[in-house]
Structure 1
Amino acid sequence: MQPTKQPHNKIKKIEEACACITDGCSLMFGGFGGVGNPPTIIGHLIEKNVRELTLIGNDAGFPHIGIGKIVSQGRAKKLIASHIGSNPVAGQLMVDGELEVEFSPQGTLAERIRAGGVGLAGIVTDIGLDSIIEDGKQKVIINEKAFIIETALSADVSIVYAKKADPFGNLIYETSARNTNPLVAMAGKVTIAEVEEIVPLGELDPAEIVTPGVFVNMVVKSKGVDWKWAWE
Structure 2
Amino acid sequence: MIDKFIESVEAAVADIHDGATVLVSGFGLAGQPVELLDALCRQGARDLTVVCNNSGSHDGGLARLIRLGRVRRLIASYPRGAEAGAFEQAYAEGRIEFECVPQGTLAERLRAGGAGLGGFFTPTAYGTRLADGKETRVIDGRGHVFEHPLRGDFALVKALAGDRWGNLVYRKAARNFGPVMCMAARKAVVQVAQRRALGELDPEAIVTPGIFVARLVCVGAGSAPASVDEPAEALA
RMSD: 1.4
In structure 1, stretches of 5+ residues that fail to align are 1-5, 225-232
Aligned to 2:231: none
Structure 2: how far apart are the matches of 1:39 and 1:222?
A: 10
In structure 2, stretches of 5+ residues that fail to align are 222-236
2:169 to 163, 169, 172: 172
Q: Are 2:117 and 1:120 equivalent residues in the alignment?
A: yes
Deviation string for 1:25-62 (max 9, x for gaps)? 11001001122111221111111122111000101021
Aligned to 1:30: 25
Q: By how many angstroms is 1:223 displaced?
A: 4.0
Amino acid at match of 2:29: G
Q: Size of the alignment, in residue pairs?
A: 218
Query: Moved runs in structure 1, 4+ residues, more than 3 A?
Result: none
Aligned to 1:64: 59
Q: By how many angstroms is 1:92 displaced?
A: 2.3
Amino acid at match of 2:115: V
Structure 1: how far apart are the matches of 2:86 and 2:12?
A: 29
Contact 1:34-1:66 within 8 A present in 2 as well: no
Q: What TM-score, normalized by structure 2, do the two folds share?
A: 0.88
Structure 2: how far apart are the matches of 1:98 and 1:65?
A: 19
Structure 2: how far apart are the matches of 1:62 and 1:15?
A: 22
1:54 to 45, 49, 53: 49
Aligned to 1:88: 85
Contact 2:54-2:77 within 8 A present in 1 as well: yes
Contact 1:34-1:68 within 8 A present in 2 as well: no
Contact 1:34-1:65 within 8 A present in 2 as well: no
1:9 to 3, 8, 15: 3
Report the 3-state secondary structure (helix = DSSP H, G, I; strand = E; otherwise coil) of the residue aligned with 1:19: coil
Q: Are 2:195 and 1:201 equivalent residues in the alignment?
A: no
Report the 3-state secondary structure (helix = DSSP H, G, I; strand = E; otherwise coil) of the residue aligned with 2:14: helix
Contact 1:32-1:61 within 8 A present in 2 as well: no
Contact 2:59-2:86 within 8 A present in 1 as well: no
Structure 1: how far apart are the matches of 2:50 and 2:169?
A: 24
